[in-house]
Amino acid sequence: MRKQEEYEDIVIVGAGISGLATALALQRKGIRSIVLERSETLRATGAGISIYLNGWHALDHLGVGNQLRAKSTPINEIHGEWVYNDDTEVIPISKEGLRCVKRSDLIEALANSLPAESIRFGCQIVAIETDPVTSFPIVHTADGCIMRTKILIGCDGSNSIVASSLGLKPANLFQTREVRGYTSYPNGHGLSNHFLHLKGDKLFVGRIPVDENLVFWFVDQEFHPKDLETRRDPILIRDRTLEAVKDCPKEVIEMVKHCDLSSLSLTRIRYRAPWHLALKNLCKGTMTVAGDAMHQMDPSIGQGGCTALEDAVVLARSLSREMSVIQSERKISDQEIQNRAEVALRRYTSERKWRILILSTKSFLIGSLFGASWLKRFTFLTLFSTFFGGRFGHTQYNCGHL
Ligand SMILES: Cc1cc2nc3c(=O)[nH]c(=O)nc-3n(C[C@H](O)[C@H](O)[C@H](O)COP(=O)(O)OP(=O)(O)OC[C@H]3O[C@@H](n4cnc5c(N)ncnc54)[C@H](O)[C@@H]3O)c2cc1C
């Protein structure tokens, strides 16, 4: 039986932050695309997400910044504290420099701004090939369909099938894992607008208010093989996290004890090595990647999602310079379409490469510090301040208008 064949100008694989933001950025530029998502619904694993100034710039360019600000509290400071002593380090955050939003709010804000028919659920890409005649990508879905396209954008996260078609290896594993969740305080949490960083022995706890009733928190520890079993059961995740925070202040223990079990997740941390990003081509023909598919990074600097939003703006801006011709009524040859699309994707990847390299290196260095010796920490922190503009310099970046 002949397989069902379809055609779309631009196919985006994955309806996470990156895929939805890319589709929205393209739509804002008047360019049609379709997002293919293997899940049956939108997913927002991980409870909350910290969005720094650079991410807010991108959200504003996408036109959804204000609706998300209305659902989140501005954070003014980071309070660095230690479990075993009373020292506190206060790091001010620039005005509107940080807010934590619910992942579901972010995903919905992006998805609801798109026409419903532009996201197709239950559609898993299982293979990618290049048309031997036109050199355009052809994707094969798990249900046996074939989709021909002019441009293929992989926003399919870690283990991206598009990234592997570009020759990128799967992301590496750190020896760290993170538990994330919410705790809801119906009568108000009463916390000031600060992001708590609580450091212990091979333990890092973060707590950040989303609004006056909801707090997002995470607990980082070294990965243990029993986590593979723990992560399937929210009660086990909570109980083992309670064990981990037993020496923390009482309000932190209470926060974990009374968490929303349905919000809990336990994730092993992955990263794409910066040297790998530096050496590989991030586009091939009319195929490229964005978000975690390109640059999965340690969450210590809270930049994976923010950078995915930047990618979306830069990619749409670059494509729009060529696509207005491609999607116009004027008949143009496949060869011209291909040339223009390749120019746009090369411009996108070269604009992103340095930014991504710096952030990936920064997050890799910080990620490697977890549980490291004093000497290793000192060396890395010196490198850090010398070459990377301090801890938050990267958040002052604006990816520019669409
Ligand atoms: C513990 C942790 C904490 C974090 N904290 C922050 C933070 O505070 N701030 C921040 O900015 N970032 C943070 N990040 C990073 C951020 O979560 C990610 O960078 C971001 O979610 C990546 O989005 P994405 O769309 O690229 O990938 P994903 O969210 O992984 O989405 C990929 C989508 O593609 C779909 N898909 C995959 N393969 C296929 C296929 N073959 N066919 C069809 N669909 C497919 C998947 O189902 C999924 O929906 C954190 C990450 C972790 C792990």
Q: What percent of the chain has pLDDT over 90?
A: 82
**157 CB under 6 A from ligand 1?**
yes
**For residue 193, what are the CA distances in angstroms to 157, 319, 364?**
31, 39, 28
| Burial of residue 102 (number of CB atoms within 10 Å: 0-12, 13-18, 19+) | buried
Supply the residue whose CA is at minimum distance from atom 37 of ligand 1. Answer: 156
* 230, two tokens: 């723990």
pLDDT in tens, 142-191: 999 999 999 999 999 999 999 999 999 999 999 999 999 999 999 999 99
Pocket test for ligand 1, best of 34, 36, 37 (most atoms within 8 A of CB): 37
The number of the ligand 1 atom at minimal distance from the alpha carbon of 218 is 1
Q: Looking at residue 338, what is its pLDDT?
A: 93
Q: Is pLDDT above 60 for 291?
A: yes
Measured from the CB, is residue 305 less than 6 Å from ligand 1? Answer: yes
161 lines ligand 1 (CB under 6 A): yes
How many other C-beta atoms can be found within 10 angstroms of the C-beta atom of residue 274?
Answer: 20
**Over residues 230-254, mean pLDDT:** 96
In the reported structure, the alpha carbon of residue 37 is separated from the centroid of ligand 1 by a whole-number distance in angstroms of 12
The gap from C-alpha 221 to its chain's centroid, in whole angstroms, comes to 21
Structure tokens at 157: 């996260």
Each residue of 331-355: pLDDT tens digit?
788 899 999 999 999 999 999 999 9
- pLDDT of 3 reads 67
d(CA 332, CA 328): 9
Please choose from 11, 12, 18 the residue to mutate so as to test ligand 1's pocket, defined by most ligand atoms within 8 A of CB.
18
Q: What angle do CA 233, 182, 113 make, to 5 degrees?
A: 105
- Residues 187-207: pLDDT tens digits? 999 999 999 999 998 999 999
* Ligand 1 pocket mutation pick from 11, 35, 38, 180 by most atoms within 8 angstroms of CB: 38
Domains plus CATH for the chain?
5-45+103-173+271-396 (3.50.50.60)
pLDDT single digits (tens) 370-397: 766 667 766 766 766 666 667 788 999 9
What confidence score (pLDDT) does residue 4 get? 85
Atom of ligand 1 at shortest distance to CA of 304? 19
